[in-house]
Amino acid sequence: MRKFRAIVVGPGNVFNKAYLSFIFNLEELNIVGIVGRSEEKLKKYKEMYNINTYSLEKAIALKPDRVFVHTSSDSHYEIVKKLLINDINVYVDKHITDDI
């Protein structure tokens, strides 16, 4: 079975409540890094899951197969746009934008 290299962007409240309990245990995924604003949260994930932390630009340069976007809703559009322009498959947990 192929394992998809994935990055998590914005491991906040929704990620913790809905995804954290299983995402690191999915056989199909190899979570290779996390991108976030909170140094404290990133340090926690690095220690708990032995995972690297990156800026969004460095994460894009890694060319992951998938990126899971769990940032605040107001940042979704710009982040998703950057990922799609770089030909990276994206999963977004909420709406991409408040505007049409």
- Which phi and psi angles does 11 have, rounded to 5°? -75, 75
13-70 tens-digit pLDDT: 888 888 988 998 999 999 999 999 989 989 998 998 899 999 999 999 999 999 999 9
**Residue where the block lists tokens 């060319």:** 63
Mean pLDDT of 65-92: 93
The residues pairing with 67 across neighbouring beta strands, listed in sequence order, are 7, 90
Residue 20 CA to its chain's centroid (Å): 11
Residue 5 CA to its chain's centroid (Å): 11
Q: Where are the domains of the chain?
A: 4-92
Most confident of 1-5, 38-42, 85-89: 85-89
Query: What local confidence, expressed as pLDDT, does residue 21 receive?
Result: 86
Among 65, 70, 71, residue whose Cα is nearest residue 86? 65
Residue 38 in tokens:
């909170």
CATH level 3 topology of 4-92: Rossmann fold (3.40.50)
User: What's the start-to-end Cα distance of the chain, in Å?
Assistant: 39
Residue 55 in tokens:
């800026």
